Structure 1
Amino acid sequence: MNTLEIKELQSPDEILEAFPILRQLRTHLDENTYLKLVIDAKEKDRYQMFALVDEDQIVAVTGFKPMITLYYGRFVWVCDLVTDYTVRSQGYGEKLLTYVHKWQKENNYESVALSSGLQRTDAHRFYENRMAYDKVSFVFKTSI
């Protein structure tokens, strides 16, 4: 029996349960730093984290936050989206991103945006071909 459920991760225990999946995307984070960053982002930056659960197992995780900028207007920024490498290409990422789209519409935001590492060509194909995202910019970063 297929029992897919999208669950908001709120408590520290729930957030920690998603760490093994999210670490596949954010390999630079240890568990303690991850938990501190998520809690801080939730408290100060309206970050929300959701897991797609199949048969009581987290199979995919997303984190996003609503934002307003002059370039995008009112939009939702997807900070994190990752499917467990053992179950990729089974539609889980699409289900979670579709959930973000639904959240965006229900909360009166105009669009959804995200960035993706240059090396993540499979993800780029997914965003452009499967989810109909347009490539609209490059993201630049510096550490000062």
Structure 2
Amino acid sequence: MDTITIVPLVTEEELIEAFPLMNQLRTHLNLEEYLELVYESGAKERYQMLGLRDKDVLKAVIGFKPMITLYYGRSLWVCDLVTDKQARSKGYGEKLLSHVEHWGKQHNYESIALSSGLQRTNAHHFYEGKMDYIKVSVVFKKEF
């Protein structure tokens, strides 16, 4: 019997449970800011979070949203993907990302894209080597 399940994270209790994992990626956020952004982006941008549980323990989280742009067309944007640092290299990220890719195909999206910090070289190897993603651009940011 498979002990791995992928479930939507929608209740406040589920989102709070996911915060320690998400905080490993988004270290600049406190719980209050995190919840505010999840709720606002869900309401305004259809952001969704999924959690991967192994034996009922949350091991990885992905946040994504559908979007339409002239460059990507109808696509999915992966905003966040993190596996608990104690559980990396066990295929959890691959399972979550593949699940979202499958969801996108079922809902008639044409592609999936994401941005990954320059320092996250292990993540880049994962996206390119394991998941068959290609580098198509460089992202620039300016703080206000």
Question: SS at the partner of 1:75?
Answer: strand
Q: What per-residue deviation string (whole Å, max 9, x for no partner) do you get for residues 70-107 of structure 1?
A: 00000000000000000100000000000010110011
Equivalence for 1:133:
133
Equivalence for 1:7:
7
Give the Cα separation in 2 of the matches to 1:143 and 1:28: 14
Equivalence for 1:20:
20
Unaligned regions of 5+ residues in structure 2, if any?
none
Equivalence for 1:92:
92
Q: For residues 93-132 of structure 1, what are the structure 2 equivalents within 5 Å?
A: 93-132=93-132
Unaligned regions of 5+ residues in structure 1, if any?
none
For these two proteins, the number of residue pairs brought into alignment is 144
How well do the aligned residues superpose, as a CA RMSD in angstroms? 0.8
Give the Cα separation in 2 of the matches to 1:14 and 1:87: 19
Question: SS at the partner of 1:105?
Answer: helix
Deviation for aligned residue 1:12: 1.0
What amino acid is aligned across from residue 50 of structure 1 in structure 2?
A: L
When normalised by structure 1's length, the TM-score is 0.98
Question: SS at the partner of 2:25?
Answer: coil
When normalised by structure 2's length, the TM-score is 0.98
Equivalence for 1:66:
66
Question: SS at the partner of 2:117?
Answer: coil
Question: SS at the partner of 2:93?
Answer: helix
Give the Cα separation in 1 of the matches to 2:130 and 2:94: 8
Q: Percent same amino acid at aligned positions?
A: 60
What amino acid is aligned across from residue 52 of structure 2 in structure 1?
A: L
Question: SS at the partner of 2:33?
Answer: helix
Q: What per-residue deviation string (whole Å, max 9, x for no partner) do you get for residues 41-72 of structure 1?
A: 11111000000001111000000000000000
Deviation for aligned residue 1:2: 4.5
What amino acid is aligned across from residue 90 of structure 2 in structure 1?
A: Q
Q: What per-residue deviation string (whole Å, max 9, x for no partner) do you get for residues 94-133 of structure 1?
A: 0000001011001100000000000000000000000000
Question: SS at the partner of 1:18?
Answer: helix
Give the Cα separation in 2 of the matches to 1:23 and 1:143: 21
Give the Cα separation in 1 of the matches to 2:129 and 2:141: 27
Superposed structure 1 runs of 4+ greater than 4 Å apart: none
